[in-house]
Amino acid sequence: MSAQELKQMIEKAGRIVAFTGAGISAESGIPTYRGADGVWNKYDPNKYANVNYFLQEPSYYWNFFREVRYQVLKQAKPNEGHKALARLEERGLLKAVITQNVDGLHQEAGSKNVLELHGNTRKIICLDCGKSYGIDEVREQVETELPPPCRSCGGMLKPDVVLFGEALPAETLEQATEESRSCDLFISVGSSLVVQPAASMPVIAKRAGAALVIVNQDATPLDKQADLVIRESASAVLSEAVQE
Ligand code: NAD
Ligand code: ZN
């Protein structure tokens, strides 16, 4: 029923922006921070995702990368939710996907205009010379060297993501703000809407006059401001709402 309401809103809209969080990738096998279980829980996001901890103790991150993150990334495939957003862009309705995710699954599903607020964990950069590496070559390296030095200058490698304690990329944030301000339908999918400043995007859209739809399994602090709240699976809702 609710997915049908979203479908009607999509068909009436002129400029749609989607805003996604960890929940859209949960059905691709990537755990969210909340409710994560199994081996993922052995590693504490307050450590592997914190910039001060990373700079102090980089091996903690690289161990997590070696034991957990690499395999999770290699196995994850875009699900029907990612694919539905890619089709909506192809139809000319969706102008941008603003994502907090760092998994690259929107691009793999075919989305073109993806604004990654928190970077991408599939890319690894040298903090000293700026050279970038793919995850496969660094995965080989961490078999024998922890933390892995840059092969070119010996400097420190870091995943190209925004860790807790770091600023968001200014240009991407600006583009995301502009897209949010100029859309007429803003769909938030799989985000708890508590991580700032990312979570201010729906507020910006709403203030500028857009309709706000929140698709998320749990309640969010912005539900009261939304025009439509759907507490169901992201992939089920999006694939139904985007059907022609
Ligand atoms: P979050 O973990 O705070 O919230 C995820 C939300 O998704 C939850 O409220 C949950 O109810 C909902 N959810 C879970 N499965 C769902 C499903 N199948 N359908 C619909 N909703 C579902 O995530 P967030 O808001 O993105 O913020 C967390 C931070 O963690 C972000 O900064 C992000 O960069 C990072 N992160 C990214 C990934 C990723 O790249 N896939 C994974 C974990 C964390
Ligand atoms: Zn280097």
Provide the token pair at 7. 């479908």
pLDDT of residue 121: 95
The residue ranges of the chain whose pLDDT is under 70 are 1, 34-40
Residue ranges of domains in the chain? 1-29+78-118+167-244, 31-75+121-161
Q: Is the CB of 2 under 6 A from ligand 1?
A: no
Contact 182, 208 (CB under 8 A): yes
Q: Is the CB of 159 under 6 A from ligand 1?
A: no
Strand order in the sheet with 16-20: 114-116, 94-99, 16-20, 185-189, 211-215, 228-230
Provide the whole-model pTM. Answer: 0.95
* Minimal-distance CA residue to ligand 1 atom 31: 100
Q: What does the pLDDT look like over 18-65, one tens digit per residue?
A: 999 999 999 999 988 755 555 567 788 889 999 999 999 999 999 999
How many other CB atoms are there within 10 angstroms of residue 222's CB atom?
A: 20
Give distance in angstroms: CA of 155 to centre of ligand 2.
Answer: 5
CA–CA distances in Å: residue 103 to residues 9, 26, 59, 106, 128 = 28, 11, 21, 8, 24
* Minimal-distance CA residue to ligand 1 atom 26: 21
The CATH T-level fold of domain 1-29+78-118+167-244 is Rossmann fold (3.40.50)
How, if at all, do strands 185-189 and 16-20 pair?
A: parallel
Provide the token pair at 4. 């049908």
Give distance in angstroms: CA of 145 to centre of ligand 1.
Answer: 31
How many angstroms separate the CA atoms of 82 and 109, rounded? Answer: 6
Give distance in angstroms: CA of 76 to centre of ligand 1.
Answer: 15
Q: Is 22 exposed, middle or buried (0-12, 13-18, 19+ CB in 10 A)?
A: buried
Which are the catalytic amino acids? 118
Ligand with the closest atom to the CA of 192: 1
What separation, in Å, do the N-terminal and C-terminal C-alpha atoms of the chain show? Answer: 16
Atom index in ligand 1 nearest the CA of residue 26 equals: 15
How, if at all, do strands 211-215 and 157-161 pair?
A: unpaired
CA dihedral 171, 173, 174, 179 (to 10 degrees): 130
CATH number of 31-75+121-161: 3.30.1600.10
How many angstroms separate the CA atoms of 199 and 44, rounded? Answer: 23
pLDDT of residue 34: 59
pLDDT of residue 40: 63
Neighbouring C-alpha atoms within 13 Å toward the C-beta of 35: 10
